Each structure stands twice: as structure tokens, then as C-alpha cells.
A and B are shown apart, each in its own frame.
Chain A
Amino acid sequence: MSDVKEGAPPPLEAEPEALTEAAATRAELAVAPEIVAGSLGEYLRAWVARIKAGESGVLPVIVGLIVIAVIFQSQNANFLTAGNLVNLLVQGAAITLLGLGEVFALLLGEIDLSIGFVAGVAGVIAAQLVAFPHNWPWWAAVGVAILVTAVIGLVQGTIITRLGLPSFVVTLAGLLGFQGVMLMMVGQGGTVPIASDVINDFANGNMTVGAGWVVTALLILGYAALTWWRDQRRRASGLVAPPASLTLLKIAAVAVAGVALVLICNANRGLLVPIQGVPWVVLIVLGVLAAWSVLLGRTRFGRYVYAIGGNAEATRRSGVNLARIRTAAFILCSLTAGIAGIVYASRLRSVSTNLDGGTLVLYAVAAAVIGGTSLFGGRGKPLHAVLGGIVIAAIANGMGLLGMAAATQLIVTALVLLAAVTIDAVARRGRTPTGMH
């Protein structure tokens, strides 16, 4: 343990900080629990204290999911069946992926309203390139579609950062414009079917039972080894690190979640013919989640995205090229939307003019915010978009099972979103600097 961590009394303690008891407690609450706790017991106490102070992380969304599951299950026993749960994950994948993109914009304190139709454009491009007369291989079609969305992000990002225009307006223009582009590309027929089995399998195909287990085992082992090794090394060198018991608990939680997911997915959910296995789309979402989590959490680029969201002027004075980081974030946002669009098209095995990018993007923002990402910039994680996406999918799915009208679904989703924003605002209030009064 370093001196700093111990809060070692000497020199300055004679003249303690002019913190009132309340301010001191508040400062303590804002600290992540693992950095003030030496044991699991302390950690749990610190955690409870933080929740009371509105600093609850992903807890609200997890509790929300449990509440949603209990309500729907009590009304319709089919909700928690393997078949329905897998269905729910696949249904929510496109919005989850869009949310994973939107997180980049939200972290900057910006917004990207265009990604719904950018996704649509990507879907059309992929669908048309694999079809007659192009007949491209699936990977080339997907690659070009994603490349085009990256270029769209580059153009919009450049306009926003170099001309200093508000992202809201620029991407609102994008929302309108790319809907037009998509309609133009789909053309007279109104629908472009996807002629590639591989692309259709993204959302509709499953891994074999054995492959699901092997992949999950590898992922869990990899996560466990990396986490344990990192925390152990930090503990050994006296750096701020969670207690060993907490590290083990985290690993156990991930392992249980992984095993549960595979068990659910590997149960036979077919009615006439057996259908089982982990859908490929689950792996796609997990892959994007992992990649963006590493990018935002462990690289300079990610650090600057958070810094710009927190205090853009301070970041600029630190010598960071704001325009470049912002533009890159918009590129990644658009590019993730491209992936989402291909998954969306894959599930329907086609792209049609019915694709409502306006609603999709609003659900994407809702997913990120429900999961715990702040609209004010600087706070949030890719994981939030995934959890929020599952919440939205669960509501839509459960309401559908209960035979409720679309009107009710919209109202319930609205209330959940409102609750999530309220939690964010309350948490934010609890975070105001304690020393500035």
C-alpha cells in the first residue's frame, strides 16, 4: 500500500482539509469502492454507501432487468423459456450495436442522430453487393458497407469539428439525407433480399453446441487469467487494486453468466426441428463490446474521449488534438452503426424501405442512457449500451408476449428511459465537486 493510498496522516494532517464531516463523507462516496477498501467486507460497505449516494454504476439497470423479468414471467410463463430469451437477445442485437456506436458520441457530450439510417445504408450496400449482378463474396460486401459508413462518419465528424457546427444539427441533416439515400438505393421494389447465406446466418444462424462451449470456455479462461494477473500484479506492487476475494468474485460472476448463456442457448428451442446453439450475433455483439471496451478504457484515444467529455478546454491545453479525436469518435460511431445495419438486415434476410432509422437511433440513445451512460459527456461505458439494449428488447418482447399494443410498449419504454435519465441526473448532482463551496 502506498503512502498516498493510506491517506497517511503526517505533515498536513496537523492542518486538516477544511472538509466538513458531510463533505468528507461525500468525497469518500464518490470514490470507486475497490480503491478505498482493503477487504471484501469493506468493499461491500463502501458499495452500499455509494448506492445510497446515487453512485450506483450498472446496478439500476441490473435491478431493472430483474424486475422486468419477474413481472413478465408472472404474467406469461413463456417469458423465461430458453427459446424466448435467445429470441430476445437476437431481437435486441441491432439496437444494442447502434447503442455501442452512440456511446462514442455521448461520451464526447455530442449526439449522432444519423446512425439509424447510416445503418440502413450499410444494410442496402451489403445486400446489393452480394446480389446479382455484382455477386460479391459476403466478406467483401460487408467490408465495403462498413467502409462506406466509416467515410460517412468521417464527413459528418469533419463538418462538426472543423466547422464547429453542433452535432445535433449536422447529424439531423444526416438522418434526413441518409434516409433519402437509402430509399434511392432500395429503389422501386421496396425490398432488397440478401442473397448470401453467410450474412443471413449472422442473426439467424447458431454455433454448434460444442463450439458454443469451447468459445465460452476460452473467453472465460482468458478473462479470468488477464483479470487475475493484472490485479495480482497491482496488489503485489502496492498499487490501488481490489482485494483478491473481489477479483475472484468478479471472475466467478463472469463465468456463471457465460455458462448460463450457453446453457440457455444450447437448450433445444425448436418446435418441429431441433434448434440449438449460441447465435452468431451474440458473438458479434460480444466482440464489438470487447473491442470498444479496450479502445475506450485502455488506449490514449479512449482516455482523450473521456477527457474531452469532462473538460474539453483542459484537454486542449494538454496538447491533445481535439478535432482529430472527435472526428475519430464519429467515425467509430458510424462504423458501429454499419455493423448494426448488416445485423439488422441479416435478421430480416432483406432490407426494405420500412426500415425506420429515426426510431432506431432514438432507441440506441435510450439503450446507452438506460444502461448508465450520461448525456452530458464523460461518463459511460460500452457495457452500458449492451445492458440497456437488453432492457429495451426485454420490454418489447415481454409486451409482445402479453399481447399488448404497440402504444403501451412505447409508453412503458418511455417511462423506463425517464427513470434512467432521472437516476443519471441524481447521480450527477451527487458528484458536484465538494471543495468548491
Chain B
Amino acid sequence: MADGSGAGAVDPGALLSLGDIDKNFGPVQALTGVNLDVPAAQVTALLGDNGAGKSVLVKIISGIHAPDGGQIHWEGRAVHFRTPKDATALGINTVFQDLALCDNLDIVQNMFLGRERRQVGLLLDEDDMEKAAAATLASLSVTTVRSIRQPVASLSGGQRQSVAVARAVMWNSKLVIMDEPTAALGVAQTRMVLDLIKRLADKGLAVLVISHNLNDVFEVADRVAVLYLGRLVAQGPAAGFDRQSVVELMTTGASSRVVAASQAAAAGLEG
């Protein structure tokens, strides 16, 4: 479990704990000994420059890639994901950057895509699905859409993001991973999505947000983790970081400004 340095110890209280995750693609070492804790009811921001390994790490958590080394613990149990379905079955849902919505289908149809409910017989149970979709959207306070029977093509970027999130959380989700959720959004819509992220954490879900936007990160994140060239160089409560230290960590892998507690987690991995 731990790598012997003591710094890689898995926090038993975290919903998801990654221990010493290695991943390489041929000669390219994408991740090296990554330890990451994602606690429930908190927003964890995963930061890193391009090529730092954020996407690979997310793909490992969502079951798309299998790690070459290390362990994944889910609610304290060691787990192995062979396919994305294994991760989904545990309650890990990913909202991809492109949202993966069908523009020609309406909100209800998109939220249930691939998991449609049926009446006795083969016909779809539209009434039941519409009620469930409305309840989920209402619980997330997504109320700006005029009708949940409008095609997704007619929604704004923020509303589309909301639909994608609602789809992710309506299946007994415990961890929602969001890849650059605000990248394509205007100011007001970014606000709407950030509020939504906070509400998810308030509802007890773990949220792992990947973002380049430090404003957004400091706005919503309870915890911050920084990847640099495939290594996790720092993680800890967001209060232990400031903008400058995060930039230094993202670009150089170290920062003189990081508070001791945060850097401690990373120290053992540096060698």
C-alpha cells in the first residue's frame, strides 16, 4: 500500500484513495507513484499544466485505462476497474469536456440515454423518466430551462453542462469527475456551473474538478492537488495554497510558498 516513505499512506477516511499509481504508454511514463485522496462531500481540484497527466489520471479513475502499478481504494476496499462500467457501478461518473449530449434529443432523453426505463412490454416509460429527470434537475436547482422536453440544441452552454451533470448524478453517484467544466462558458454561465459544483458537494458527493482556471479553482475547491510531469507534487486543503504557489507548482513542481502540511504529502515522492 504505502511506498515505505510514509508519505504515500492511504487515508482510510477518503471515499477514493489512489496509492502509488504508475502508468506508462510504451516508453512514456505518464504517471509516477501518484497518491491522491478524494474525500466525500468536498470539491477536490486537480491541477496541472498540459501534459502533466491529469487526463490519464481521470481515465484511470473512470476505468478507461488500467494502471500499471499501485492500488485504488474505494470506501476503504481495494478495487480494480476493468471497464468504465465497473467504475460506474460503484458510483463514479465522469462529465467529459465535450459533455457527450445528443443535440437532437430532449433533456429527458439525454439524461436517460442508454438507461431508458420501459413499461411492461417494450415501450419506453416516458412519464416515469420525465418525472425522475425533473426531480433530479430540481434537486440540483437547475430551474432556468423552460421545459425538460426541449431539445438540448436549444440550451445555453451552462444549461448543457447542467444537463450533463444531472445525468451523471442521477445514477446513485458518489463521485462526479468534471473535465474542464467551465472552459467554454461565459461569465454568468460559469457562475451557474460553479454554484452547481458546490451544491453537489453540499449534497454529500465527492467532486473531482479538472481545471486550468485558477479563479474557478479557488472559488469552489475544498482541496487542491497539483500534478507536475506525472507526479503529484502537492495536495491538501485549498486554504494551504494561493494563486502564486499553485502556479509555481504547476510550472516547476515545487514552491517555497506552500504551507508545510501540503508539501509534506508530496515530499516523499520527490526523490
Interface residues, chain A, CB within 8 Å of chain B? 2-5, 7-13, 15-19, 23, 26-32, 35-36, 233-234, 237, 239-240, 294, 298-300, 303, 306-307, 309-311, 313-315, 317-320, 378-379, 431-436
Given contacts A4-B134, A311-B100, whether A300 and B124 have CB atoms under 8 Å apart is: yes
How far is it, in angstroms, between the C-alpha of A320 and the C-alpha of B123 when the chains are bound? 17
Q: Is the CB of B156 within 8 A of A318?
A: no
Asked if B184 is an interface residue, CB under 8 A from chain A, the answer is yes
From B122, B138, B156, B192, residue with most partner A Cβ within 10 Å: B156
Q: Which B positions have Cβ atoms within 8 angstroms of A?
A: 85, 96, 98-105, 109, 113-116, 118, 122-124, 127, 130-131, 134, 137-138, 141-151, 153-160, 184, 186-189, 191-192, 195
Bound: A32/B147 CA distance, A: 10
Contact B156 A434 (CB under 8 A): yes
Report which of B147, B153, B195 forms a contact with A240, defined as CB distance below 8 A. B147
B-chain residues with CB within 8 Å of residue A234 when the two chains form the complex: 127
Q: How far is the CB of B165 from chain A (nearest CB, A)?
A: 14
Cβ contact within 8 Å between B160 and A435: yes
Contact check, A3 vs B156: say whether CB atoms are below 8 A apart.
no
State whether A307 and B105 are in contact (beta carbons under 8 Å apart), knowing that A318-B100, A434-B154, A436-B157 are contacts in the complex.
yes
Residues of A within 8 A of B184 (CB): 436
Q: A11-B141, A306-B105, A314-B102 are in contact. List 16 more A-B contacts (CB 8 A).
A: A5-B146, A9-B143, A10-B143, A27-B156, A32-B149, A239-B127, A299-B122, A300-B118, A306-B109, A307-B113, A311-B100, A311-B103, A318-B113, A378-B103, A433-B154, A433-B157
In the complex, the answer to whether A306 meets B131 with C-beta atoms within 8 Å is no
By beta carbon, the residue of chain A nearest B189 is A18
A53 to B83, CA, bound (A): 44
Offer 17 A-B interface pairs, CB within 8 angstroms, sorted by A. Answer: A2-B138, A7-B144, A10-B143, A12-B141, A12-B195, A16-B188, A18-B188, A29-B154, A240-B149, A294-B123, A299-B123, A307-B105, A310-B103, A318-B115, A431-B151, A433-B160, A435-B189
Query: Nearest chain B CB to A128's CB is how many angstroms away?
Result: 36
- Which residues of the partner chain B approach A35 to less than 8 Å between Cβ atoms? 147, 149-150
A32 to B109, CA, bound (A): 15
Residues of chain A contacted by B160 (CB below 8 angstroms): 433, 435
A381 nearest CB across to chain B (Å): 12
